[in-house]
Amino acid sequence: MSPADPETTRQFLEAVVAALSILGGGMAYVSGYKASEALAEGQPPEILGQRVNEGIGQGFRAFWPLSVVVLIIMVWG
């Protein structure tokens, strides 16, 4: 078994960070959007928390395929 090439390892870690950044950013965006909707409607804090949690889940579902594509592109590139 050969030791890992530092350059390849660094590139792989950069690809993982980029993919997770896409996923996390998308989740934060959707949950923030849902929170702003709830605040605009004057919803109580319990509903606001529920909307934020739902937004996190919706953001994950919407952005995980894009983050996988970014990972693949960066690993191949």
Q: pLDDT at position 44, please?
A: 97
Mean pLDDT of the chain: 93
Q: pLDDT at position 52, please?
A: 97
- The span from the CA of 34 to the CA of 71, in Å, is 27
**Residue 43 has which token pair?**
């919803």
Residue 1 scores a pLDDT above 70: no
Cβ atoms 11, 51 nearer than 8 A: no
- The span from the CA of 71 to the CA of 12, in Å, is 9
- The span from the CA of 66 to the CA of 60, in Å, is 10
Query: What percent of the chain is predicted at pLDDT more than 90?
Result: 84
What's the pLDDT tens digit per position in 19-54? 999 999 999 999 999 999 999 999 999 999 999 999
